[in-house]
Structure 1
Amino acid sequence: MGTPFSSFEPHGPNDEARGPRLREIPFRLLVPNLITVLAICAGLSGVRLAFEGRFELAVAMVLVAAFLDGIDGRVARLMKATSKFGVQMDSLADIVNFGVAPALVLYAYVLDQARSLGWIAALIYVIAAGLRLARFNVMAERDVKASWQSEYFVGVPAPAGAMLVLLPVYLGLIGFEPGQLMGLISSAYTVLIAFLLVSRLPVWSGKSENRVRRDLVLPVILFVVLYVATLMSFTWETMVVTAAGYLITLPFGARAWHKKYGSSWPDHPDHTPPGDDGLPMDRV
Protein backbone atom coordinates (compact mmCIF):
# COMPACT_ATOMS: atom_id res chain seq x y z
CA MET A 1 0.00 0.00 0.00
CA GLY A 2 1.42 3.35 -0.98
CA THR A 3 1.93 6.35 1.29
CA PRO A 4 1.85 10.11 0.59
CA PHE A 5 5.56 10.37 1.53
CA SER A 6 8.45 10.27 -0.89
CA SER A 7 10.80 7.31 -0.58
CA PHE A 8 13.96 7.67 1.50
CA GLU A 9 16.99 7.54 -0.80
CA PRO A 10 20.09 7.79 1.42
CA HIS A 11 22.49 7.78 -1.53
CA GLY A 12 20.43 9.86 -3.93
CA PRO A 13 17.82 8.78 -6.47
CA ASN A 14 18.26 5.34 -8.00
CA ASP A 15 18.62 4.85 -11.70
CA GLU A 16 18.67 1.84 -14.01
CA ALA A 17 22.44 1.49 -13.64
CA ARG A 18 21.96 0.83 -9.94
CA GLY A 19 19.34 -1.84 -10.43
CA PRO A 20 15.77 -2.02 -9.15
CA ARG A 21 14.55 0.37 -6.45
CA LEU A 22 14.69 -1.08 -2.93
CA ARG A 23 11.39 -1.04 -1.06
CA GLU A 24 13.12 -1.42 2.33
CA ILE A 25 16.41 -0.18 3.76
CA PRO A 26 18.36 -1.40 6.80
CA PHE A 27 17.46 0.37 10.05
CA ARG A 28 21.17 1.08 10.67
CA LEU A 29 21.04 3.64 7.84
CA LEU A 30 18.53 5.64 9.86
CA VAL A 31 20.42 5.66 13.17
CA PRO A 32 22.95 8.42 12.29
CA ASN A 33 20.17 10.58 10.83
CA LEU A 34 18.09 10.12 13.97
CA ILE A 35 21.06 11.27 16.06
CA THR A 36 21.37 14.35 13.84
CA VAL A 37 17.66 15.13 14.24
CA LEU A 38 17.94 14.74 18.02
CA ALA A 39 20.90 17.15 17.97
CA ILE A 40 18.81 19.77 16.15
CA CYS A 41 15.97 19.28 18.62
CA ALA A 42 18.36 19.72 21.54
CA GLY A 43 19.88 22.88 20.08
CA LEU A 44 16.53 24.51 19.37
CA SER A 45 15.18 23.44 22.77
CA GLY A 46 18.18 25.21 24.29
CA VAL A 47 17.10 28.41 22.54
CA ARG A 48 13.57 28.06 23.93
CA LEU A 49 14.86 27.42 27.46
CA ALA A 50 17.10 30.49 27.20
CA PHE A 51 14.20 32.77 26.33
CA GLU A 52 12.28 31.25 29.24
CA GLY A 53 15.15 32.22 31.55
CA ARG A 54 16.22 28.65 32.32
CA PHE A 55 19.82 29.23 31.34
CA GLU A 56 21.50 26.25 33.03
CA LEU A 57 19.28 23.85 31.11
CA ALA A 58 19.66 25.96 27.97
CA VAL A 59 23.45 25.74 27.98
CA ALA A 60 23.29 22.04 28.84
CA MET A 61 21.02 21.42 25.85
CA VAL A 62 23.32 23.33 23.50
CA LEU A 63 26.32 21.32 24.74
CA VAL A 64 24.35 18.08 24.33
CA ALA A 65 23.46 19.16 20.79
CA ALA A 66 27.13 19.80 20.03
CA PHE A 67 28.03 16.38 21.44
CA LEU A 68 25.38 14.56 19.41
CA ASP A 69 26.32 16.51 16.30
CA GLY A 70 29.94 15.48 16.84
CA ILE A 71 29.27 11.74 17.12
CA ASP A 72 26.71 11.19 14.37
CA GLY A 73 29.37 10.97 11.68
CA ARG A 74 31.47 8.59 13.75
CA VAL A 75 28.44 6.41 14.44
CA ALA A 76 27.69 6.35 10.72
CA ARG A 77 31.22 5.19 9.92
CA LEU A 78 31.22 2.56 12.67
CA MET A 79 27.87 1.18 11.48
CA LYS A 80 28.86 1.51 7.82
CA ALA A 81 25.82 3.72 7.35
CA THR A 82 27.31 6.78 5.66
CA SER A 83 25.16 8.34 2.95
CA LYS A 84 24.83 11.51 0.90
CA PHE A 85 21.55 12.26 2.67
CA GLY A 86 23.29 12.02 6.05
CA VAL A 87 26.07 14.35 4.93
CA GLN A 88 23.55 17.00 3.93
CA MET A 89 21.57 16.57 7.15
CA ASP A 90 24.70 16.89 9.24
CA SER A 91 25.78 20.00 7.37
CA LEU A 92 22.43 21.69 8.01
CA ALA A 93 22.49 20.63 11.67
CA ASP A 94 25.95 22.14 12.17
CA ILE A 95 24.83 25.70 11.46
CA VAL A 96 21.98 25.31 13.96
CA ASN A 97 23.95 23.63 16.75
CA PHE A 98 27.28 25.42 16.39
CA GLY A 99 26.04 28.77 15.13
CA VAL A 100 22.42 29.79 15.73
CA ALA A 101 21.73 28.04 19.05
CA PRO A 102 24.79 29.25 21.03
CA ALA A 103 24.45 32.77 19.62
CA LEU A 104 20.80 33.08 20.63
CA VAL A 105 21.40 31.59 24.09
CA LEU A 106 24.27 34.03 24.61
CA TYR A 107 22.13 36.94 23.37
CA ALA A 108 19.23 36.05 25.66
CA TYR A 109 21.58 35.81 28.64
CA VAL A 110 23.91 38.79 28.30
CA LEU A 111 24.33 40.26 24.81
CA ASP A 112 20.92 41.93 24.98
CA GLN A 113 22.38 44.13 27.73
CA ALA A 114 24.52 45.74 25.01
CA ARG A 115 21.43 46.41 22.88
CA SER A 116 22.20 46.68 19.16
CA LEU A 117 25.91 46.01 19.65
CA GLY A 118 25.10 42.68 21.27
CA TRP A 119 22.79 41.68 18.42
CA ILE A 120 25.40 42.67 15.85
CA ALA A 121 27.98 40.53 17.68
CA ALA A 122 25.58 37.57 17.66
CA LEU A 123 24.97 38.03 13.93
CA ILE A 124 28.70 38.19 13.21
CA TYR A 125 29.26 34.95 15.12
CA VAL A 126 26.48 33.09 13.27
CA ILE A 127 27.73 34.30 9.88
CA ALA A 128 31.30 33.33 10.80
CA ALA A 129 30.14 29.84 11.80
CA GLY A 130 28.27 29.55 8.50
CA LEU A 131 31.30 30.68 6.51
CA ARG A 132 33.53 28.19 8.26
CA LEU A 133 31.13 25.31 7.64
CA ALA A 134 30.73 26.34 4.00
CA ARG A 135 34.51 26.43 3.61
CA PHE A 136 34.67 22.94 5.10
CA ASN A 137 32.10 21.61 2.62
CA VAL A 138 34.02 23.07 -0.31
CA MET A 139 37.38 21.77 0.90
CA ALA A 140 35.90 18.34 1.67
CA GLU A 141 35.22 17.81 -2.02
CA ARG A 142 38.95 17.82 -2.81
CA ASP A 143 40.56 14.42 -3.19
CA VAL A 144 44.17 15.42 -2.50
CA LYS A 145 45.04 16.54 1.02
CA ALA A 146 48.07 18.21 2.55
CA SER A 147 50.22 16.21 4.94
CA TRP A 148 49.61 18.59 7.86
CA GLN A 149 45.87 17.92 7.86
CA SER A 150 46.30 14.98 10.21
CA GLU A 151 47.67 17.36 12.84
CA TYR A 152 46.06 20.78 12.46
CA PHE A 153 42.80 22.56 11.82
CA VAL A 154 42.77 25.89 10.00
CA GLY A 155 41.07 28.18 12.47
CA VAL A 156 39.13 27.12 15.54
CA PRO A 157 36.74 24.24 14.68
CA ALA A 158 33.03 25.00 14.88
CA PRO A 159 32.24 22.69 17.86
CA ALA A 160 35.02 24.32 19.88
CA GLY A 161 33.75 27.74 18.79
CA ALA A 162 30.31 26.94 20.20
CA MET A 163 31.87 25.87 23.49
CA LEU A 164 34.10 28.96 23.65
CA VAL A 165 31.47 31.56 22.76
CA LEU A 166 29.33 30.50 25.74
CA LEU A 167 32.10 31.41 28.21
CA PRO A 168 30.23 34.57 29.40
CA VAL A 169 27.26 32.36 30.30
CA TYR A 170 29.49 29.99 32.28
CA LEU A 171 30.88 32.99 34.17
CA GLY A 172 27.39 34.31 34.84
CA LEU A 173 26.26 30.96 36.21
CA ILE A 174 29.07 30.98 38.79
CA GLY A 175 28.18 34.44 40.06
CA PHE A 176 29.18 37.21 37.62
CA GLU A 177 26.35 39.68 37.15
CA PRO A 178 25.21 39.95 33.49
CA GLY A 179 24.98 43.75 33.40
CA GLN A 180 25.64 46.31 30.68
CA LEU A 181 29.42 46.26 31.12
CA MET A 182 29.51 42.48 30.88
CA GLY A 183 27.25 42.74 27.84
CA LEU A 184 29.73 45.04 26.08
CA ILE A 185 32.71 42.87 27.02
CA SER A 186 30.84 39.74 25.92
CA SER A 187 30.02 41.38 22.58
CA ALA A 188 33.70 42.04 21.92
CA TYR A 189 34.55 38.49 23.02
CA THR A 190 31.91 37.05 20.68
CA VAL A 191 33.41 38.91 17.73
CA LEU A 192 36.85 37.60 18.72
CA ILE A 193 35.60 34.01 18.64
CA ALA A 194 33.95 34.68 15.27
CA PHE A 195 37.31 35.90 13.95
CA LEU A 196 39.05 32.76 15.27
CA LEU A 197 36.52 30.60 13.42
CA VAL A 198 37.25 32.10 10.00
CA SER A 199 40.95 32.82 10.57
CA ARG A 200 43.88 30.83 9.16
CA LEU A 201 45.26 30.23 12.64
CA PRO A 202 46.77 26.71 12.79
CA VAL A 203 45.04 24.86 15.62
CA TRP A 204 46.38 21.54 16.83
CA SER A 205 43.70 18.89 16.28
CA GLY A 206 45.06 15.91 18.17
CA LYS A 207 43.91 13.61 15.36
CA SER A 208 47.42 12.32 14.76
CA GLU A 209 47.79 11.26 18.40
CA ASN A 210 45.65 8.14 18.08
CA ARG A 211 47.88 5.96 20.24
CA VAL A 212 48.78 6.20 23.93
CA ARG A 213 52.06 5.01 25.40
CA ARG A 214 51.61 2.04 27.74
CA ASP A 215 53.09 3.90 30.72
CA LEU A 216 50.57 6.73 30.21
CA VAL A 217 47.40 4.62 29.96
CA LEU A 218 46.56 4.72 33.68
CA PRO A 219 47.31 8.48 34.07
CA VAL A 220 45.11 9.22 31.04
CA ILE A 221 42.25 7.15 32.46
CA LEU A 222 42.59 8.84 35.84
CA PHE A 223 42.63 12.28 34.21
CA VAL A 224 39.45 11.52 32.25
CA VAL A 225 37.74 10.24 35.40
CA LEU A 226 38.84 13.35 37.31
CA TYR A 227 37.59 15.64 34.54
CA VAL A 228 34.20 13.94 34.33
CA ALA A 229 33.86 13.99 38.12
CA THR A 230 34.62 17.71 38.33
CA LEU A 231 32.32 18.37 35.38
CA MET A 232 29.46 16.64 37.18
CA SER A 233 30.18 18.29 40.55
CA PHE A 234 31.40 21.75 39.48
CA THR A 235 29.93 22.01 35.99
CA TRP A 236 30.29 25.70 35.19
CA GLU A 237 33.63 26.17 36.94
CA THR A 238 34.96 23.23 34.92
CA MET A 239 33.59 24.70 31.68
CA VAL A 240 35.27 28.04 32.47
CA VAL A 241 38.61 26.26 32.99
CA THR A 242 38.08 24.19 29.83
CA ALA A 243 37.33 27.23 27.66
CA ALA A 244 40.21 29.24 29.13
CA GLY A 245 42.58 26.30 28.74
CA TYR A 246 41.62 25.87 25.09
CA LEU A 247 42.24 29.54 24.37
CA ILE A 248 45.62 29.38 26.11
CA THR A 249 46.73 26.47 23.89
CA LEU A 250 46.08 28.36 20.64
CA PRO A 251 49.37 30.34 20.59
CA PHE A 252 51.30 27.14 21.33
CA GLY A 253 49.66 25.41 18.38
CA ALA A 254 50.63 28.28 16.08
CA ARG A 255 54.18 28.19 17.45
CA ALA A 256 54.44 24.43 16.83
CA TRP A 257 53.22 24.99 13.27
CA HIS A 258 55.87 27.65 12.74
CA LYS A 259 58.64 25.36 13.98
CA LYS A 260 57.57 22.37 11.90
CA TYR A 261 56.53 24.00 8.63
CA GLY A 262 58.53 27.24 8.65
CA SER A 263 55.45 29.42 8.29
CA SER A 264 53.33 31.32 10.78
CA TRP A 265 50.10 30.60 8.90
CA PRO A 266 48.75 27.84 6.67
CA ASP A 267 48.66 29.00 3.08
CA HIS A 268 45.46 29.96 1.30
CA PRO A 269 43.30 26.90 0.46
CA ASP A 270 44.33 27.16 -3.18
CA HIS A 271 48.00 26.73 -2.28
CA THR A 272 50.11 24.30 -0.31
CA PRO A 273 52.57 24.93 2.54
CA PRO A 274 56.27 24.57 1.78
CA GLY A 275 57.16 20.90 1.35
CA ASP A 276 53.56 19.69 0.84
CA ASP A 277 52.39 18.18 -2.42
CA GLY A 278 48.67 18.18 -1.72
CA LEU A 279 45.90 20.71 -1.35
CA PRO A 280 44.94 21.59 2.21
CA MET A 281 41.42 20.74 3.26
CA ASP A 282 39.76 22.49 6.18
CA ARG A 283 37.95 20.44 8.82
CA VAL A 284 35.05 21.36 11.05
Structure 2
Amino acid sequence: MSQRAMLCPRCRRLIGSSESSCSWCGTPRPKGLWRISAWTRGALDGDWLVKAIITANIAFYLLSLLMGGLQPTGNPFSMLSPNQTGLMLMGATGTIPIDRFGRLWSLVSANYLHGGILHIFFNLMALRQISPWVIQEYGSSRMFIIYTLGGVCGFWVSYIVGVPFTIGASAAICGLIGALLYFGKSRGGTYGAAVYREVSGWVVGLVLFGLVMPGINNWGHGGGILGGIVLGKLLGYGERRRENSFHHLLALICAVTTIAVLGWAAFTAVMIKGGS
Protein backbone atom coordinates (compact mmCIF):
# COMPACT_ATOMS: atom_id res chain seq x y z
CA MET A 1 0.00 0.00 0.00
CA SER A 2 1.53 3.33 -1.08
CA GLN A 3 2.01 6.08 1.51
CA ARG A 4 0.44 9.48 1.16
CA ALA A 5 1.85 12.97 1.43
CA MET A 6 1.47 14.40 4.95
CA LEU A 7 2.38 17.36 7.14
CA CYS A 8 5.62 17.05 9.10
CA PRO A 9 4.79 16.76 12.84
CA ARG A 10 7.70 19.10 13.67
CA CYS A 11 7.82 21.94 11.13
CA ARG A 12 4.34 21.45 9.62
CA ARG A 13 5.64 21.45 6.04
CA LEU A 14 4.69 18.86 3.45
CA ILE A 15 6.43 15.47 3.36
CA GLY A 16 6.06 14.02 -0.13
CA SER A 17 4.62 10.57 -0.70
CA SER A 18 8.02 9.27 -1.83
CA GLU A 19 10.01 10.83 1.04
CA SER A 20 10.99 8.91 4.16
CA SER A 21 11.77 12.12 6.09
CA CYS A 22 10.99 15.82 5.93
CA SER A 23 13.22 17.62 3.44
CA TRP A 24 12.97 20.80 5.53
CA CYS A 25 13.82 19.70 9.06
CA GLY A 26 14.93 16.07 8.64
CA THR A 27 12.24 14.58 10.90
CA PRO A 28 11.51 10.94 9.93
CA ARG A 29 8.05 10.17 8.59
CA PRO A 30 5.92 9.00 11.56
CA LYS A 31 5.15 5.29 11.53
CA GLY A 32 2.06 4.18 13.39
CA LEU A 33 -0.74 6.07 15.08
CA TRP A 34 1.03 6.16 18.43
CA ARG A 35 3.56 8.72 17.25
CA ILE A 36 0.87 11.03 15.94
CA SER A 37 -1.12 10.57 19.12
CA ALA A 38 1.89 11.33 21.32
CA TRP A 39 2.69 14.49 19.37
CA THR A 40 -0.94 15.62 19.60
CA ARG A 41 -1.01 15.13 23.37
CA GLY A 42 2.14 17.25 23.69
CA ALA A 43 0.59 20.01 21.59
CA LEU A 44 -2.52 20.00 23.76
CA ASP A 45 -0.44 20.23 26.93
CA GLY A 46 1.49 23.16 25.47
CA ASP A 47 -1.71 24.87 24.35
CA TRP A 48 -3.07 24.67 27.89
CA LEU A 49 0.10 26.28 29.24
CA VAL A 50 -0.04 29.17 26.77
CA LYS A 51 -3.71 29.78 27.62
CA ALA A 52 -2.83 29.82 31.34
CA ILE A 53 -0.10 32.44 30.78
CA ILE A 54 -2.46 34.57 28.68
CA THR A 55 -5.19 34.31 31.32
CA ALA A 56 -2.78 35.40 34.08
CA ASN A 57 -1.69 38.43 32.01
CA ILE A 58 -5.28 39.51 31.36
CA ALA A 59 -6.27 38.99 35.00
CA PHE A 60 -3.40 41.13 36.28
CA TYR A 61 -4.08 43.85 33.72
CA LEU A 62 -7.68 44.08 34.96
CA LEU A 63 -6.58 43.99 38.61
CA SER A 64 -4.11 46.81 38.03
CA LEU A 65 -6.98 48.89 36.62
CA LEU A 66 -9.11 48.12 39.68
CA MET A 67 -6.33 48.93 42.14
CA GLY A 68 -5.36 52.32 40.70
CA GLY A 69 -7.81 53.43 38.08
CA LEU A 70 -7.01 54.90 34.67
CA GLN A 71 -4.01 57.03 33.80
CA PRO A 72 -5.17 60.29 32.13
CA THR A 73 -3.59 60.43 28.68
CA GLY A 74 -4.23 61.90 25.26
CA ASN A 75 -2.06 59.31 23.56
CA PRO A 76 -4.14 56.75 21.58
CA PHE A 77 -1.39 54.15 22.19
CA SER A 78 -2.04 54.48 25.94
CA MET A 79 -5.78 53.79 25.94
CA LEU A 80 -7.12 52.15 29.12
CA SER A 81 -3.77 52.53 30.87
CA PRO A 82 -3.56 51.65 34.58
CA ASN A 83 -2.01 54.49 36.57
CA GLN A 84 1.35 54.09 38.26
CA THR A 85 -0.24 53.52 41.66
CA GLY A 86 -2.08 50.45 40.42
CA LEU A 87 0.99 49.13 38.61
CA MET A 88 3.21 49.70 41.64
CA LEU A 89 0.75 47.92 43.92
CA MET A 90 0.50 44.95 41.55
CA GLY A 91 4.26 44.48 41.19
CA ALA A 92 5.93 46.77 38.65
CA THR A 93 9.71 46.53 38.78
CA GLY A 94 12.72 48.82 38.34
CA THR A 95 15.07 50.75 40.61
CA ILE A 96 12.19 52.46 42.45
CA PRO A 97 10.29 49.31 43.50
CA ILE A 98 13.48 47.32 44.22
CA ASP A 99 15.75 49.91 45.85
CA ARG A 100 13.12 51.92 47.74
CA PHE A 101 10.70 49.16 48.71
CA GLY A 102 12.81 45.99 48.56
CA ARG A 103 10.53 44.36 45.98
CA LEU A 104 13.02 42.02 44.36
CA TRP A 105 10.13 39.65 43.64
CA SER A 106 8.79 42.25 41.20
CA LEU A 107 11.28 40.88 38.64
CA VAL A 108 8.71 38.08 38.24
CA SER A 109 5.41 39.94 38.69
CA ALA A 110 6.27 42.74 36.22
CA ASN A 111 6.11 40.17 33.40
CA TYR A 112 2.34 39.94 33.95
CA LEU A 113 1.57 43.68 33.95
CA HIS A 114 0.82 46.01 31.04
CA GLY A 115 0.47 49.72 30.46
CA GLY A 116 -2.58 49.78 28.21
CA ILE A 117 -4.99 47.80 26.07
CA LEU A 118 -2.77 47.96 22.97
CA HIS A 119 0.29 47.04 25.04
CA ILE A 120 -1.27 43.83 26.30
CA PHE A 121 -2.92 43.05 22.95
CA PHE A 122 0.31 43.14 20.94
CA ASN A 123 2.30 41.29 23.60
CA LEU A 124 -0.23 38.47 23.87
CA MET A 125 -0.52 38.22 20.09
CA ALA A 126 3.26 37.82 19.93
CA LEU A 127 3.16 35.23 22.73
CA ARG A 128 0.44 33.26 20.92
CA GLN A 129 2.57 33.19 17.77
CA ILE A 130 5.99 32.45 19.26
CA SER A 131 5.32 30.15 22.22
CA PRO A 132 3.95 27.16 20.23
CA TRP A 133 7.12 27.21 18.13
CA VAL A 134 9.28 27.15 21.26
CA ILE A 135 7.15 24.34 22.71
CA GLN A 136 7.59 22.40 19.48
CA GLU A 137 11.39 22.55 19.68
CA TYR A 138 12.02 22.64 23.44
CA GLY A 139 8.89 21.15 25.03
CA SER A 140 6.37 22.70 27.42
CA SER A 141 8.53 22.56 30.55
CA ARG A 142 11.56 24.19 28.96
CA MET A 143 9.36 26.81 27.29
CA PHE A 144 7.96 27.90 30.65
CA ILE A 145 11.45 27.96 32.21
CA ILE A 146 12.69 30.17 29.37
CA TYR A 147 9.63 32.42 29.59
CA THR A 148 9.99 32.89 33.35
CA LEU A 149 13.77 33.21 33.68
CA GLY A 150 14.12 35.09 30.38
CA GLY A 151 11.74 37.74 31.72
CA VAL A 152 13.61 37.93 35.01
CA CYS A 153 16.89 38.29 33.13
CA GLY A 154 15.50 41.09 30.95
CA PHE A 155 14.22 43.08 33.90
CA TRP A 156 17.40 42.44 35.89
CA VAL A 157 19.47 43.96 33.06
CA SER A 158 17.16 46.99 32.92
CA TYR A 159 17.45 47.35 36.71
CA ILE A 160 21.25 47.20 36.54
CA VAL A 161 21.37 50.05 34.00
CA GLY A 162 19.00 52.14 36.12
CA VAL A 163 15.54 51.90 34.53
CA PRO A 164 13.34 53.32 37.32
CA PHE A 165 9.93 51.80 36.53
CA THR A 166 9.01 49.10 33.99
CA ILE A 167 6.43 46.43 33.17
CA GLY A 168 5.33 44.10 30.36
CA ALA A 169 5.51 40.57 29.04
CA SER A 170 7.88 41.58 26.24
CA ALA A 171 11.02 40.75 28.25
CA ALA A 172 9.77 37.18 28.73
CA ILE A 173 8.67 36.96 25.09
CA CYS A 174 12.13 38.15 24.06
CA GLY A 175 13.50 35.25 26.11
CA LEU A 176 11.53 32.90 23.83
CA ILE A 177 12.87 34.75 20.78
CA GLY A 178 16.43 34.32 22.09
CA ALA A 179 15.87 30.58 22.56
CA LEU A 180 14.66 30.28 18.94
CA LEU A 181 17.69 32.26 17.75
CA TYR A 182 19.96 29.78 19.51
CA PHE A 183 18.00 26.82 18.14
CA GLY A 184 18.17 28.03 14.55
CA LYS A 185 21.89 28.81 14.70
CA SER A 186 22.78 25.63 16.58
CA ARG A 187 20.69 23.22 14.52
CA GLY A 188 21.69 24.52 11.12
CA GLY A 189 20.46 22.91 7.92
CA THR A 190 17.60 24.21 5.82
CA TYR A 191 15.13 24.27 8.68
CA GLY A 192 17.54 25.80 11.22
CA ALA A 193 18.58 28.50 8.77
CA ALA A 194 14.91 29.31 8.07
CA VAL A 195 14.17 29.60 11.79
CA TYR A 196 17.20 31.81 12.40
CA ARG A 197 16.36 34.05 9.45
CA GLU A 198 12.74 34.57 10.49
CA VAL A 199 13.51 35.16 14.17
CA SER A 200 16.31 37.58 13.24
CA GLY A 201 13.65 39.60 11.40
CA TRP A 202 11.68 39.83 14.65
CA VAL A 203 14.77 41.11 16.46
CA VAL A 204 15.36 43.78 13.81
CA GLY A 205 11.70 44.80 14.11
CA LEU A 206 12.01 45.05 17.91
CA VAL A 207 15.09 47.27 17.60
CA LEU A 208 13.44 49.58 15.09
CA PHE A 209 10.22 49.75 17.12
CA GLY A 210 12.23 50.54 20.26
CA LEU A 211 14.05 53.39 18.52
CA VAL A 212 10.86 54.95 17.13
CA MET A 213 8.40 54.51 20.02
CA PRO A 214 8.97 56.36 23.32
CA GLY A 215 8.87 54.50 26.62
CA ILE A 216 10.06 51.15 25.25
CA ASN A 217 12.37 49.24 27.61
CA ASN A 218 15.05 48.27 25.10
CA TRP A 219 17.32 47.07 27.91
CA GLY A 220 14.59 44.65 28.99
CA HIS A 221 14.23 43.39 25.43
CA GLY A 222 17.97 42.93 24.98
CA GLY A 223 18.38 41.25 28.36
CA GLY A 224 15.49 38.91 27.59
CA ILE A 225 16.99 37.88 24.25
CA LEU A 226 20.40 37.31 25.82
CA GLY A 227 18.83 35.30 28.65
CA GLY A 228 16.88 33.21 26.15
CA ILE A 229 20.01 32.40 24.17
CA VAL A 230 21.87 31.29 27.30
CA LEU A 231 18.90 29.27 28.58
CA GLY A 232 18.41 27.64 25.19
CA LYS A 233 22.02 26.49 25.25
CA LEU A 234 21.96 25.30 28.87
CA LEU A 235 18.61 23.51 28.68
CA GLY A 236 19.05 22.09 25.20
CA TYR A 237 16.33 21.47 22.62
CA GLY A 238 14.38 18.37 21.69
CA GLU A 239 16.53 17.05 18.87
CA ARG A 240 19.61 16.96 21.10
CA ARG A 241 18.17 16.33 24.54
CA ARG A 242 14.74 15.14 25.54
CA GLU A 243 12.91 16.83 28.37
CA ASN A 244 13.79 15.05 31.60
CA SER A 245 12.87 15.08 35.28
CA PHE A 246 15.22 18.02 35.94
CA HIS A 247 13.41 20.16 33.35
CA HIS A 248 10.03 19.21 34.79
CA LEU A 249 11.21 19.99 38.33
CA LEU A 250 12.66 23.37 37.32
CA ALA A 251 9.45 24.23 35.45
CA LEU A 252 7.46 23.31 38.57
CA ILE A 253 9.68 25.58 40.69
CA CYS A 254 9.12 28.42 38.19
CA ALA A 255 5.35 27.79 38.28
CA VAL A 256 5.15 27.68 42.10
CA THR A 257 7.33 30.81 42.36
CA THR A 258 5.19 32.66 39.80
CA ILE A 259 1.93 31.71 41.53
CA ALA A 260 3.34 32.68 44.94
CA VAL A 261 4.65 36.04 43.68
CA LEU A 262 1.44 36.93 41.82
CA GLY A 263 -0.64 35.83 44.81
CA TRP A 264 1.47 37.94 47.16
CA ALA A 265 1.28 40.95 44.85
CA ALA A 266 -2.51 40.71 44.64
CA PHE A 267 -2.87 40.16 48.41
CA THR A 268 -0.65 43.10 49.40
CA ALA A 269 -2.32 45.35 46.81
CA VAL A 270 -5.77 44.60 48.24
CA MET A 271 -4.55 45.10 51.81
CA ILE A 272 -2.85 48.42 51.02
CA LYS A 273 -5.80 49.62 48.97
CA GLY A 274 -8.24 48.58 51.68
CA GLY A 275 -6.25 50.37 54.40
CA SER A 276 -5.90 53.63 52.49
Same fold (TM over 0.5): no
